[in-house]
Amino acid sequence: MIVRLATEAAPGRAENEDNAFHAGRLVGVLDGVTEPVGVDTGCVHSPAWYVHRLTTHLADVAGRLGESLADTLAEAIRRVRADHGGRCDLTNPATPAATVCLIRVHHDRFDYLILSDSHLVTEIGGRVQAFTDPRFQIAVTRLRSELLVPGSAEGDVERRELTLHKYRLTNRPGGYWVAAATPQAARHAITGSLPLTGPDRVRRAALLTDGAACAVTEYRLMTWAGLLDLLTDHGPHELIRRVRRAEDADPDRRAHPRFKRHDDATAVLCAF
């Protein structure tokens, strides 16, 4: 397996709340949930701190045999709980959190795990297929229908209200699941296995945070197949550069309504 990765903070942001890693047979991307201004998270730590600690612990337990990816993620979340050192209210629904996408390679397959709105894009036997966890988007769509007047503009005030209300759906049945302070959330991840041998084997796979996947999902700059080709031919940094150009072309977020003008962006390409 050949791995190429890139991660970049949003322009003007001091800390990158994304991360990517390659530790032995385990590869992953993480996207920290940005802390809303003025919201009490009950925690003295930032989303960037949480992502860094979770990445470190995932790498530490990457080589443990006989565990599922859900077991691996649950153990890493459990270790981050201990890193808080008893100083934080980990029952607060706004406690630092992150989306996660992982793959772990075996001889004849790789297993994958997706928690919240990161993406896994694969070329399988010549076909390109994207995988994600749709529950976050379903929850946000439901909140929009409940909170916003039909036809009204979605400005900063409305986005803040959506952010505050989504906490009542975080890590709850009927809502969506994310890595935070509850190891059991890992059991609710989207998981599966894909072959690395035979005619329908995976040849390429991309792991993307939403700040990179938006090249396809939001800005329509390319197809998923085009994204894989771009990563292969020009590398992850070029994908991020094109996303930045699209963000800059829509500074008031009217053409492409979104929570932030710029987002941290992370992309990983695995070639088999």
Mean pLDDT score, 33-54: 94
DSSP reduced 3-state for 139: helix
CB-based burial label for 91 (10 Å; 0-12, 13-18, 19+): exposed
Q: What does pTM read for this prediction?
A: 0.93
Q: Is the pLDDT of residue 129 over 90?
A: yes
Mean pLDDT score, 263-267: 97
Residue 106: which residues within 8 A CB-CB, separation 6 or more? Answer: 25, 196
pLDDT bucket at 82, cuts 50 / 70 / 90: very high
Separation between Cα atoms, residue 77 and residue 100, nearest integer Å:
11
pLDDT of amino acid 165:
81
Q: Is the pLDDT of residue 99 over 60?
A: yes
pLDDT of amino acid 65:
75
Q: Is the pLDDT of residue 154 over 70?
A: no
CB-based burial label for 175 (10 Å; 0-12, 13-18, 19+): middle
Residue 163's φ and ψ, nearest 5 degrees, are: -60, -45
pLDDT of amino acid 3:
98
